[in-house]
Structure 1
Amino acid sequence: MSVIHLALALVANCAWGFNFIAGKIGTLTFQPLFFTSIRFFFLLLIMLPWLRPAPGHMKPLLKVAFLLGVIHFSMMFIGLNAGGNIASVAITTQLYVPFSAILAAIFLKESFSAIRVVAIFIAFIGILVIGFDPIVFSHLDAVLWVMGAAFAMAVATIMMRQFPNMGVFKLQAWIAAIAAPSLLLLSLIFESGQLQTLADLEIIQLWSPLYSAIGASVLGHGIVYYLLGRYPVSIVTPLLLLAPVLASIFGIWWFGDEIGWKLIVGGTITLLGILLVSVNVDRLMSRLKTRI
């Protein structure tokens, strides 16, 4: 990978890592569902030129849009709002990788090597270690919300593999179109005080949902889509594991998060397991054997 493309991967990681900061601030300002709805209204305005029908694939597209926009993002931001620190949430979101591998083996009949089984086991062991960190333990509901978000994303990932690739911006447009009104309705049902929040709002406070829409969805996903068009998934995906690390650093810098040793050890174990799931370890091992 060229230096320029490595720099782009770093930008994507920073964009996604800082999205956890914007999300935390935004959910505290607006409430989780209302914040997520505003985020998607901004994204919809940006993505309107790509909001075009996908003949023959609208039904699965709408299902994926609902899973990602309404289920995944609402659960993630609810968990982020409830979490005691950024690191535990950011690391737990990465569980979508082993969840996707498990679902692919079950529903797509993909090969499931012993190495991948061990890697998935390692990833979940790391989450268990994280759960025993005192700060995380007092906010276990946050971890459960984020695990649910990761599972929803894994289901959507499997569904997306069953219809043609229609481009990241078109997908983002439909996610925003479904999520924005749906989440606003859910916010009106389960939350309160939205009108008062808007009445007291200072324009500068809109930076958090605006950043989340542009920084994470447009910039972050746009860069990753660009890189995936030029390099194999097994090369690009491991580079993205820097995002939760950067999110943890941003959390310490912005909120003064305390990072205990259990969180460090558990996070390292989880990210190691996810790295092993992401890369084609079997092919790498076979190459090493042939060279030896």
Structure 2
Amino acid sequence: MKPAHVLLAVLVAAIWGVNFVVIDVGLDDFPPLLFSALRFLLAAVPAVFFVGPPRVAWRWVVIVGIVLGVLKFSFLFIGMHIGMPPGLASLVLQSQAAFTVLFAAVLLREQPRVAQLGGMAIAAAGIVLVGLRLGATAPVVGFLLVIVAAVCWGLSNVATRRASPPDMFRFMVWVSLVPPVPLLVLSLLFEGAGKDLAALRSMTPSGAAATVYVAWVATLLGYAVWGHLIKVHGATPVAPYALLIPVFGLAAAALFRDEPVTMVTVVAAVLVIAGIAIGAVRPGRPRLLPVASVTGQDRVPADTN
């Protein structure tokens, strides 16, 4: 990869890592379900009018929109809202790599390799360390909700693989059109119209900026650049840079939200990242598969979460 493209890959990893801190900032202004609805609405409109059709069966757009947009982000945002620290959330969410392998084995009949199973065990040890640390400092329910979000992400990875979208950016724009209405209905039911209206009326500049960031920067810009890099270079040289996401997430949380970085956190991060890396490398071929295991992108043009 050219130096400029290496910098772009690192930039996208940084954007996605910092995104967890930005979500935490947005949750200061908005109830979690409303914030998620606004995020997807802004990501889909007006972009959906300019990208053209998704070029996959519409059922996959709906399925991924519900599992990824409605379920995964609802659990993630609620988990963070009730106390899951953003840095640790960026790390724990990477357990989706293990769930992707498991669901691929069950639903797609893909036989997991020994390296994948070993990597899953190592990453799981890191996740357990996070849970043990949180038991004394934060609500364990928030941790469990992020785990459920990772489960949903794993399911959406498998669905995306089956859909095989030729243009991941276009696919993500259409997927983003699915969640806003269900999320708004859920927000009205569980968060209340009064609370939603109050949040919109009292929206601060930081809340507005957070919404723009998660919609336009993390979603549209992030997927556009990542998809371009994979189209040019293939998944093999690009995928490893996604392992930097929790590194940037933990660093940003420590810098901007005063989240402590303890030795337990460092050990857990090393275990999770190493486990994902080990499970993704095919012996005899310097290739990382699937890209979904580290980013949630799969089958982006030509090689591919």
Give me the TM-score of the superposition, normalised by structure 2. 0.86
Report how far residue 39 of structure 1 moved: 1.1
Instruction: Give the secondary-structure state (helix, strand or coil) at the position aligned to 1:230.
Output: helix
The equivalent of 1:242 in structure 2 is: 244
Q: Point out the structure with the larger helix share.
A: 1
Does the CA-based 8 Å contact 2:120-2:279 persist in structure 1?
yes
Query: Partners of 1:113 and 1:164 in 2: how far apart?
Result: 22
Give the distance between the partners of 1:229 and 1:270, measured in 2 at CA.
28
Tell me the equivalent position of 1:141: 141
Give distance in 2, aligned partners of 1:167 and 1:136: 44
Is the 1:88–1:136 contact (alpha carbons within 8 Å) kept by the matching residues of 2? Answer: no
User: What is the match of residue 89 of structure 1?
Assistant: 89
The alignment yields a C-alpha RMSD, in angstroms, of 2.1
Amino acid across the alignment from 2:220? V
* Alignment counterpart, residue 202 of structure 2, candidates 180, 200, 203: 200
Give the Cα–Cα distance (whole angstroms) in 2 for the partners of residues 146 and 167 of structure 1. Answer: 28
Partner of 2:25: 25
CA shift, 1:4, in A, is 1.1
Q: Which residue of 2 aligns with 1:65?
A: 65
User: Who wins on radius of gyration, i.e. which is larger?
Assistant: 1
Q: Which residue of 2 aligns with 1:174?
A: 174
Report the more deviating stretch, 126-135 or 264-273. Answer: 126-135
For structure 2, which runs of at least 5 residues remain unmatched after alignment? 288-305
Residues 27-85 of structure 1 show CA distances to partners (whole Å, capped at 9, x for unaligned) of 12101111111111211224222565557711122111111111111111112222342
CA separation of 1:229 and 1:253: change in aligned 2, threshold 3 A? same
**Cα pair distance change 1:170/1:82, threshold 3 Å:** same
Q: Which secondary structure state, in structure 1, belongs to the residue aligned with residue 177 of structure 2?
A: helix
Q: Is the 8 A contact 2:25 2:207 kept in 1?
A: no
Count of residues in Structure 1 that have an aligned counterpart in Structure 2: 285
Structure 2 CA distance for partners of 1:84 and 1:98, relative to 1, 3 Å: closer
Q: Distance in 1 between matches of 2:201 and 2:138?
A: 34
Select between 43-52 and 159-168 the one with higher mean Cα deviation.
Answer: 43-52
Aligned to 1:101: 101
Q: Distance in 2 between matches of 1:184 and 1:203?
A: 22
Distance 1:149 1:206 in 2: 24
2:271 aligns with: 269
Partner of residue 290, structure 1: none
Distance, in Å, in 2 between the alignment partners of 1:231 and 1:41 is 31
Aligned partners of 1:18 and 1:250 also within 8 Å: yes
Counterpart residue type for residue 22 of structure 2:
A
| Alignment partner of 1:229 out of 201, 207, 231 | 231
Which residue is equivalent to 1:39? 39
Q: Percent of counterpart pairs with the same letter?
A: 25
Q: 1:111 deviation in Å? A: 3.3
**For residue 256 of structure 1, what is the aligned residue in structure 2?**
258
Distance 1:284 1:166 in 2: 24
Instruction: String of CA shifts for 1:243-268, please: whole Å, max 9, x gaps.
Output: 11111111111111112221211121
Kindly provide the amino acid, as one letter, of the partner of residue 231 in structure 1: H
**CA pair 275-85 structure 1, distance change in 2 beyond 3 A:** same
Q: TM-score, normalised on structure 1?
A: 0.90
Aligned partner of 2:282: which letter?
A: N
Quick one: structure 1 residues 259 and 110, their matched pair in 2 at CA, closer, same or farther if it must change by over 3 Å? same
Cα 1:162–1:205 change in 2 (3 A) is closer
Which segment drifts farther, 276-285 or 230-239? 276-285
Q: Distance in 2 between matches of 1:267 and 1:162?
A: 30
Given that residues 234 and 280 in structure 1 are in contact (C-alpha distance below 8 angstroms), is that contact kept between their aligned partners in structure 2?
no
Matched position secondary structure for 1:229: helix
8 A Cα contact 1:97 1:278, kept in partner: no
2:292 is matched with: none
